Structure 1
C-alpha cells in the first residue's frame, strides 16, 4: 500500500476489484523510536503487524530490533529513511524504526455507525496535547464508553506520547476515525445522535439534562474550545457545575466527569 493510501483523507482505499478497504491508519497504531518499538515487541498482549526499519539503521541497534522481532515472529521490512519518517509522521524522533501495532477496536466512524452504533460517543475537537488525548482514551475506555472519535486532522496524532499517557490503553481503546470533528458531528447527526458540546458557561447541567438514546459529546480544544464548524451542528450545550472559584477544568478532567456521569446514569456501563 502506498504512502498516499496510508495517509488517505477518508480512511479507505480501493483494491483491485474496486472494493473499499480500511486504511492502515484505521487499523494500526504506529509507534516509532527504538525503545517504544522494543517495548511493543516485548509485550505479549500486543499484536505487532510489522516493523519497518530504515536502511540507514545498521549495527547493534538494527541487530537488537531484528532479534526482538524474530523472537516475536514479527516481520521486519527495510525502507528508505525518508519513507520511515513519512510513515511515522515524526522526522525528529523516529530513530529510523517504527512498528504497526494492531488496534483491535479501532475502526472508521462510518463502519461503527453502519454496524451496531454505540449509545455514547466522545468527539475530540482540536485537542492537541498528547497527554490529554491519552488520558481521555484511558478514562473513556475504563468507563465503557462505546466510541471515542479521534479525527485525523486537528487532534494530536496517536503516537507514542499518547500511548504513554494512556498507560497503554490506547492500543485497546474503541477509537473511531474520520477526517475532522465537523465531519464526525455531521455523520453522528445523520445517524440520529444528539450532539452535545461541553462548555463552562452554559445553562444545561451535565448531571440533570435528559439525554436521547444515542448521544455524542464534543470535547473542545485546550485554548479555542469547540470549533465554529462543530458549534453550528450541536444539539445543545452542557456544563459541569463548579461552585468553587474555578472557571473551567482541564479537558481530560472534564472528560472524566462526563464519562463517569454516563456510568452513573446507566447503573453499570455507558454502552
Structure 2
C-alpha cells in the first residue's frame, strides 16, 4: 500500500500530443511520502578547488573548513603539506590520473585539490523533505559560463534567497572559476543540487512551487506581477534560454522592463534585478 503515491512525467504533455517520446527522456519522480535522502554525494557537500594557489588560500582562510587535500603521487608540494598540517587537515595521495578526474580539469589542477565544506549546500530533495521550505528559489537551466554562475550565487546570497538550484548536468561545474566569480561567496551560498534542471522543475512543481521563466521580451512585467508565496524563478542558458522540458512546467513568463534601446540583459544581471526586486517586496 502506497499512500499518496504519485508519478510526475516531465514529458507528459508531449505524449498527450502524440509527439515521439524519444525527443527527450521521461523523468519520473515517485513520491511515497516525505522525500528520504538515503545517501548524500560528496558533490552535494563539498566544493572542490584545484591548483596550488587556490588550495593554499583555502587552507589559510580561517572562515573555511577544508575536509581533505588530495595530492598526486608525483606532486611535490611541501608548502601545501605544511599548510594542511597547520590547519589539521588530512592529506591523501592518489594517482595523477585520479586527481585529474576528481578535479574535472586536466590542465590546471597542478596535481592538487581540496574538498572544502559548503555548509549550506544540500540536495534539492533534502530541502523539499521537511519544513520550512525555502519560499523563493532560483533554478539555473543551461547556464554554462562559470562567471555567470558565480555572480548569480553571490547576488542570491546577498539578497537572502532561500536556495539556488544548480544541477550537476547542463550547468557550469562549481569549480574555482565559479568560486572566483562569486568572490568566495559560493562556499556559503544556499546551493541546492539535483541531476538536471528538468528533474528540479518537476520536483519543485510537485512540491507546490509556481515556476516562472525570465524572458527578454514578452511575459508579464516583473515589477507589476503578483507573485505567490512559494515560487521558483528559472534562468535559461546564455544562448538557448530555458529548455523545452522546463518550459512545459512553467506557470508563466516574467520580463524586466527596459525603456532604453537594449534588447536583453546578461543572465547574471537579470538575476540581480529579480533578486533585489524580491528584497523590495519584503520577501
Q: Does 1:89 align with 2:114?
A: no
1:256 paired residue among 251, 256, 272: 272
> What is residue 24 of structure 1 aligned with on the other side?
42
> What is residue 56 of structure 1 aligned with on the other side?
74
| SS across alignment from 1:77 | strand
* 1:168-222 deviation per Cα after TM superposition (whole angstroms, max 9, x unaligned): 0000000000011111110000000000000011130111111111000000111
Decide whether the 8 Å contact of 2:211 with 2:232 is kept in 1.
Answer: yes
> What is residue 223 of structure 2 aligned with on the other side?
207
Structure 1 CA distance for aligned equivalents of residues 215 and 161 of structure 2: 20
* 1:7-36 deviation per Cα after TM superposition (whole angstroms, max 9, x unaligned): xxxxxxxxxxxx822000000000000000
Q: Does 1:228 align with 2:233?
A: no
Q: Does 1:189 align with 2:205?
A: yes
| SS across alignment from 2:249 | coil
Decide whether the 8 Å contact of 2:219 with 2:252 is kept in 1.
Answer: no
Structure 2 CA distance for aligned equivalents of residues 79 and 159 of structure 1: 20
| SS across alignment from 1:44 | coil
2:57 paired residue among 27, 39, 54: 39
* 1:208-255 deviation per Cα after TM superposition (whole angstroms, max 9, x unaligned): 111111000000111111111111111100000001110100000000
Runs of 4+ in 1 over 3 A off after TM superposition: none
2:114 paired residue among 88, 99, 109: 99
- How many residues were matched structurally? 246
> What is residue 7 of structure 1 aligned with on the other side?
none
Decide whether the 8 Å contact of 2:70 with 2:99 is kept in 1.
Answer: yes
> What is residue 85 of structure 2 aligned with on the other side?
70
- Aligned CA RMSD, in angstroms, stands at 0.8
Normalising by structure 2, we get a TM-score of: 0.86
* 1:33-59 deviation per Cα after TM superposition (whole angstroms, max 9, x unaligned): 00000000000000000000000102x
> What is residue 196 of structure 2 aligned with on the other side?
180
Decide whether the 8 Å contact of 2:64 with 2:116 is kept in 1.
Answer: yes
Q: Provide structure 1 residue ranges, at least 5 long, that are not aligned to the other structure.
A: 1-18
Q: Provide structure 2 residue ranges, at least 5 long, that are not aligned to the other structure.
A: 1-36
